[in-house]
Amino acid sequence: MIEQPLPALADTAGLVRITILQGEAKASADPRVEMSTILGSCVATCLFDPVARVGGMNHFLLAEPPRHVRNQAFDSDYGLFLMELLVNEMLGLGAHKSRMRARVYGGANLNPDLSPIGTANAVFARQFLEREGIPKVFEDLEGVQARRIQFRPAGGQVRARLVPADSAPTQKPLGRPQSALGTVELF
């Protein structure tokens, strides 16, 4: 289910727009801030504390690191790291965990030929919120279409729209550009 645009999101004068990229989590109490992201199989969690008027968004690629590396340094692509980071950033701005509310988006399975990464991400997000006692007030997870999310963290307002298939993020492996590969000199 896609949320309808909220009236307050129509007012864009003086907005400070922040794009949340894969592997990021940011929080703010500034009412002028609007965070946005585009999701395919990734998941974004929008947390907000309605009393402190503090909120934040993360964008994760994978749910959890494999068991054999969990005790090592976390990679910022993992939801386990980014969920904790988001909660901690909000606490640092005056939010209280007991008042936090969540809206969760993404987790689409865009390519039927690949493993259902989106579903695994959605399951992780739901379980994390339940385990941490953070109520989920809305979710738009899974399916087969990408989403564009705009979030005003201080008020907890969200606009979520489906992205046409030709504009969706692709699930191509990441690689270095040719210019970064350098040259090889043979002797």
Give the pLDDT confidence of 136-166 residue by residue, as tens digits.
999 999 999 999 999 999 999 999 999 877 6
**Percent of residues, the chain, with pLDDT higher than 90:** 63
CATH number at residue 94: 3.30.1330.200
Instruction: Flag whether 61 is in a domain.
Output: yes
Least-confidence region, from 42-56, 124-138, 171-185? 171-185
Structural domain boundaries, residue 159: 7-180
Q: Give this prediction's pTM.
A: 0.79
DSSP code string of the chain: -PPPPPGGGG--TT-EEEE--TTEEEEE--TTEEEEEEESS-EEEEEEETTTTEEEEEEBSBS---GGGTTSPPPTTBHHHHHHHHHHHHHHTT--GGG-EEEEEE-----TTS--HHHHHHHHHHHHHHHHT--EEEEEE-SS--EEEEEETTTTEEEEEEPPGGGSPP-PPP---GGGS------
Q: For the chain, what is the domain count?
A: 1
Each residue's pLDDT tens digit, 81-95: 899 999 999 999 999
Instruction: Flag whether 1 is in a domain.
Output: no
Question: So what's the pLDDT on residue 157?
Answer: 95
Least-confidence region, from 63-77, 125-139, 148-162, 168-182? 168-182
Instruction: Flag whether 141 is in a domain.
Output: yes
Instruction: Flag whether 186 is in a domain.
Output: no
Each residue's pLDDT tens digit, 2-47: 454 444 555 667 889 999 999 999 999 999 999 999 999 999 999 9
